[in-house]
């Protein structure tokens, strides 16, 4: 596997496809640039998903997120694009992507995108959820 940024997202077979369990990734080093000013934007992404047949491979996920570094994106657009790409790669039962973007002009944007539609999380998602410390 390459160590260069890439839009390819690798997956591997879910080792327990008959069990509903939560995978929770914290990605604290996301960067892109503001499409208006060209200034860098920094974010911490939290990816939570219940896998079906495939799981996301972490090194390719890192390289995928790195591929946005020099591109201009609005926070809302890049969060939804990443969710769409991750869902296309692994077809999870459920996925939530939360983007905690750094403060800009006194405003801290937090963008939450979910698959399937908002509010359709599995009934036991709270039992599966892993709480993190900090400002999550």
pLDDT digit string, tens, across residues 117-136: 555 666 666 666 655 555 44
Residues 6+ apart with CB under 8 A from 104: 34, 41
Q: Where are the domains positioned within the chain?
A: 11-128
Whether residue 135 lies in the annotated active site = no
Residues 6+ apart with CB under 8 A from 92: 49, 50, 51, 52, 86, 115
- Taking residues 89-116, report their average pLDDT: 95
Give residue 118's pLDDT.
53
State the catalytic residue, choosing from 34, 84, 85, 90.
34
CATH no., domain 11-128? 3.30.1130.10
State the catalytic residue, choosing from 8, 32, 41, 126.
41
Residue 33's SS3 state is strand
Whether residue 41 lies in the annotated active site = yes
Q: Supply the pTM of this predicted model.
A: 0.87
| pLDDT (tens digit per residue) in 43-93 | 999 999 999 999 999 999 999 999 999 999 999 999 999 999 999 999 999
pLDDT-derived band of residue 3, with 50, 70 and 90 as boundaries?
A: confident
Cβ burial of 43 (10 Å; 0-12, 13-18, 19+) is buried
């Amino acid at each position: 596997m390459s160590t260069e940024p890439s839009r390819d997202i690798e997956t591997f077979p879910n080792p327990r496809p008959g069990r509903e369990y939560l995978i929770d990734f914290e990605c604290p080093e996301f960067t892109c640039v503001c499409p208006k000013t060209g200034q860098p934007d920094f974010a911490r992404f939290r990816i939570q998903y219940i896998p079906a047949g495939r799981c996301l491979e972490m090194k390719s996920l890192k390289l995928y997120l790195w591929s946005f570094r020099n591109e201009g994106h609005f926070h809302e657009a890049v969060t939804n694009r990443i969710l769409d790409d991750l869902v296309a790669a692994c077809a999870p039962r459920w996925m939530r992507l939360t983007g905690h973007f750094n403060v800009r002009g006194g405003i801290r944007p937090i963008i939450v995108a979910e698959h399937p539609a908002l509010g359709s999380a599995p009934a036991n998602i709270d039992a599966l959820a892993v709480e993190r410390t900090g400002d999550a």
